[in-house]
Amino acid sequence: MNFEKVYETALSCGCKAERDVPMRDYTTFKIGGNARLMITPCSDESLKKIVKACMSEGIRPMIIGNGSNMLISDKGLDTVVINMCRSDAGVRYLGDGVIECDAGVTLSKVCNFALEKELTGLEFAFGIPGSAGGAAYMNAGAYDGEMKDVLVSCTHIDADGNEGQLSGEELGLSYRTSAYEHNGFIITKLLLKLEKGEKSEIKAKMMELLQRRKDKQPLEYPSAGSTFKRPAGYFAAALIDECGLKGAAVGGAQVSEKHAGFIINKGGATSDDVMKLIDLVQKTVFEKKGVVIEPEVRLIEEI
C-alpha cells in the first residue's frame, strides 16, 4: 500500500491532505488516535480520483462527517480518512419543497436553511450534531422524526470511483441504518422533500426541541450522542437507569447522571475506557433485565 501516491493525488487535485492527524480533534467524543492520512476533497471530481487512487493501492478509506456518532480507537487508523466536511459544503433550494445539500454540511445548517425557506418536516433534526451525509447513512432521528420521513435520494460514489444514486426503497432506511452502511459507497449529496409551513411555527418547534435537548441531555460533556439503540419494546436509558448504572464509570468514561442513555467523556477518557463501560452496561442490563442492548455509536477499531 503506497500512501504517498494517494497523498500526491490529493495534492494534485488541490485538496487538503495531512499526515498523522489526531482523530480526537474530529470526533464529538474527543477520543481517538492518529489517522495516517486525512484528505478533505475539494469537489466530487477530486473525491472520485482519491477513491480510485485508494483502490489501486489496496487501501480501504474511512469516511467521516462531523464525527458525532463514532468511537475511534486510541491506537489510531492506519488508513486514509476522507473528511467530507469541506468548507464550501452547501444547501440549495430546487423548488416545490425540495432541498439539495452536500453530504458534509451540518444538519443544523440544513435545518436553518429550511426555516428561511419556510419549509417544515426537518425540525426533529435541529440540534443533532451530525452532518447530512452521516444522518442519511444511519437514518438519524429524534423526537418522533427520522431522515426516512424526508429523504428522497442520495447521490454517491461507489468503491470504483463511479457516481450513482439510490432513491426510495433502494435507500434501505430502517431504524438507525441504511443501505449505505452495508454497500460501502460514499454519500456526496442528498435530496430532501419538505412541506410549506409557517415560519414562526417552524422556529418555535426547533427552539422547543433544542431546549428539550439542553434540559435532558449532557451536552456540556463530549459524547457520541445516544450510546445505545432502542431495544424493541423498551427504552435503553430507562433500562440502564433501573439497573442503577447512572454515574457508573471506567476511567474517564461515565454513564451520564443526567441521561443514562449517554456515555460521556468526563475528561481524559480513552476508547478502552468507553468500550469497557459499554460492555459493563450491556452485561448488567442483560443480567438484571434479560434485554440485549446494542451500541448505536459506531465502534471503529484499529484499521
Q: Which residues are catalytic?
A: 176, 226, 296
SS3 199: helix
Beta-bridged to residue 19, according to DSSP, are 37
Torsion of CA 14, 41, 86, 107, to 10 degrees: 160
Which of the 8 DSSP states describes residue 56? H
**Short-list 256, 254, 255, 251, CA closest to 272:** 251
CA distance 303 to 108: 31
CA distance 155 to 159: 13
Question: What sections of the chain are H helices per DSSP?
Answer: 3-12, 44-56, 107-116, 132-137, 180-183, 199-216, 236-242, 271-289
**Short-list 122, 134, 139, 125, CA closest to 187:** 134
CA distance 236 to 224: 15
CA distance 38 to 82: 6
Q: How far, rounded to the nearest angstrom, does the alpha carbon of residue 266 sit from its chain's CA centroid?
A: 21
